[in-house]
Amino acid sequence: KNEVEQSPQNLTAQEGEFITINCSYSVGISALHWLQQHPGGGIVSLFMLSSGKKKHGRLIATINIQEKHSSLHITASHPRDSAVYICAVGSGSRLTFGEGTQLTVNP
Amino acid sequence: DAGVIQSPRHEVTEMGQEVTLRCKPISGHNSLFWYRQTMMRGLELLIYFNNNVPIDDSGMPEDRFSAKMPNASFSTLKIQPSEPRDSAVYFCASSYVAGGEQFFGPGTRLTVL
């Protein structure tokens, strides 16, 4: 069993839909990161959180430390949101990555 | 700031050749990370430095891989000799503090023939 499990692996949505990507982990962490990787390959950090909820524009990330679970939500999804979303858990500086969720938003 | 800079962006080499990947972290960042991404294994940490000192190199696959950080603004990842299974995208990332948000470079796509 991987230390970091993401679901779903693939997700296709229509523009405007509300999207949720889930991440479960099995180890103690100091922080959880959500990353976005676009088709061109570049990786961008979206959120780093250790408790509660964070919001940035149409993106919301939540974490439940007791349940070892995090969710990434995208409201009013848009084709430009199409990317791979990667959950990573941090133990100190060391990150362990999930396999990623491939999101495709169709117009 | 230009962000994390990596060079080259693409490298094609033949098996047995030495490969050197370069990274310039964001100015003022104290931690630097080297990652490898493959279809089979996803993203993996190879090594990270804090204040130019290697802290954790447990992800370095074998002795053919070595990394240095001679100063706060430059790091190299060297593979000697290279093998086809080393083909991957290698990312460098930096963070302001250990355990902080990481900023990734554009990556180097390495192909070993």
> How confident is the model over A53-90, as pLDDT tens digits?
999 999 999 999 999 999 999 999 999 999 999 999 99
- The most distant pair of C-alpha atoms in chain B lies apart, rounded to whole Å, by 38
The minimal CB distance from B50 to the residues A31, A88, A93 is found for A93
Mean pLDDT, rounded, for B56-72: 93
Tell me the per-residue pLDDT of B15-52, one tens digit each, with 9 for 90 and over.
999 999 999 999 999 999 999 999 998 999 999 999 99
User: In sequence order, which residues have a C-beta less than 8 Å from that of residue A7 and are 6 or more positions away?
Assistant: A21, A22, A24, A101
Q: What is the pLDDT of residue A76?
A: 96
Option in A42, A45, A96 nearest B101 (CB): A45
Q: Does B95 touch chain A (CB under 8 A)?
A: yes
Euclidean distance between CA atoms A91 and A50, whole angstroms: 11
Chain A residues near residue B31 by CB distance under 8 angstroms: 93
Chain A: residue nearest B3 by CA?
A44
Contact A44 B91 (CB under 8 A): no
Render pLDDT for A12-58 as a digit per residue (tens, 0 to 9): 999 999 999 999 999 888 899 999 999 878 999 999 999 999 999 99
The CA distance from A22 to the nearest CA of chain B, in Å, is 18
pLDDT at A1: 59
Q: Between the CA of residue B105 and those of B2, B35, B49, B58, what are the distances in Å? A: 10, 10, 16, 22
Residue A41 has a pLDDT of 80
Cα B47 to Cα A13, A75, B55, B59, distances in angstroms: 37, 36, 8, 6
| pLDDT on residue A79 | 96
B107 shares contact with chain A (CB less than 8 Å): yes
Taking residues A98-105, report their average pLDDT: 96
